[in-house]
Amino acid sequence: MVTVDDGYRDFYVHAYPVLKSHGIPALVYIATDLPDKQTWLWTDQVTDAALKARLKKLPDGERRTALLTMKWLRAAPPPEHAPLSWDEIREMAAGGIEFGAHTRSHPILSRLPNRKAIEAEVAGSKERIEVELGSTVLHFCYPNGHPEDFSGEVVEVVRESGFTTAVTGVQGINFSGADPYRLLRLHQEPDRPVNKYAHQVAGMYRG
């Protein structure tokens, strides 16, 4: 299964036409603040890797406060980070692309202050997509997705919100009996040679 995170418009421009022409199914996890607010994620606005890593470890309230002090951050996304619109999402849903939830604002869920805040991000994103598409959303993706980024309580909220699967950012292949709320994935980043992706799809390469 091809999965894509966040909800940027480059998927609609570049990937969707290719996937559609070859009849390849895909699942796109949407952080609903992107189409709702026509914004971009803080993890893309902060380009310094060390700073981004430190911010991810902060309690969510402290992270938001720190970002407010960074006057050099751009509120409006540049063209390469333009978000999908709900019209584009609906068009792709009608064309065979499935959509899952990826929270509302893409916080590190284990850093949120309480269960109510977790529910607002998890169930809130599910509800927004369901309202816009008029169909049930069954799949979820943890932001960042490393083991320290989602707690047992987060997994419980995901399950109770009505999702049937949730994917992590942990690399690996899922075998029979895998926990449906801690599914592994194989990564393909823009700077990775396409032949590595071909090897992954063939099951020859798992790194």
Domain assignment present for 38: yes
Ranges of residues in the chain with a pLDDT under 70 are 205-207
Look at the block and give the residue holding tokens 């992270």: 63
Q: Which helix (H) or strand (E) holds 2?
A: strand 2-6
* Number of domains present in the structure of the chain: 1
Q: How far apart are CA 144 and CA 66, in angstroms?
A: 19
Could you tell me if 30 and 90 are in contact, meaning their C-beta atoms sit under 8 angstroms apart? Answer: no
Q: What is the DSSP letter of 52?
A: H
Q: What is the pLDDT of residue 205?
A: 64
Q: Which helix (H) or strand (E) holds 32?
A: none
Paired strand residues for 32:
none
Q: What is the pLDDT of residue 192?
A: 81
Could you tell me if 69 and 24 are in contact, meaning their C-beta atoms sit under 8 angstroms apart? Answer: no
Give the CA distances from residue 147 to residues 98, 109, 142, 143, in Å, rounded to whole numbers and listed in that order: 25, 11, 10, 11
Domain assignment present for 21: yes
Tokens at 128, concatenated: 């927004």
Tokens at 148, concatenated: 């320290």
Q: What is the pTM of this model?
A: 0.92
Q: What is the pLDDT of residue 207?
A: 59
Could you tell me if 32 and 124 are in contact, meaning their C-beta atoms sit under 8 angstroms apart? Answer: yes
Q: What is the pLDDT of residue 89?
A: 98
Domain assignment present for 207: no
Domain assignment present for 118: yes
CATH of the domain at 148: 3.20.20.370
For the stretch 3-16, pLDDT in tens is 999 999 999 999 99
Domain assignment present for 206: no
Q: What is the DSSP letter of 16?
A: H
> Domain containing 73: what range?
2-201
User: What amino acid is encoded at 155 in this protein?
Assistant: V
Q: What is the DSSP letter of 109?
A: G
Paired strand residues for 27:
3, 98
Q: How far apart are CA 104 and CA 99, in angstroms?
A: 14
Three-state DSSP class for residue 120 = helix
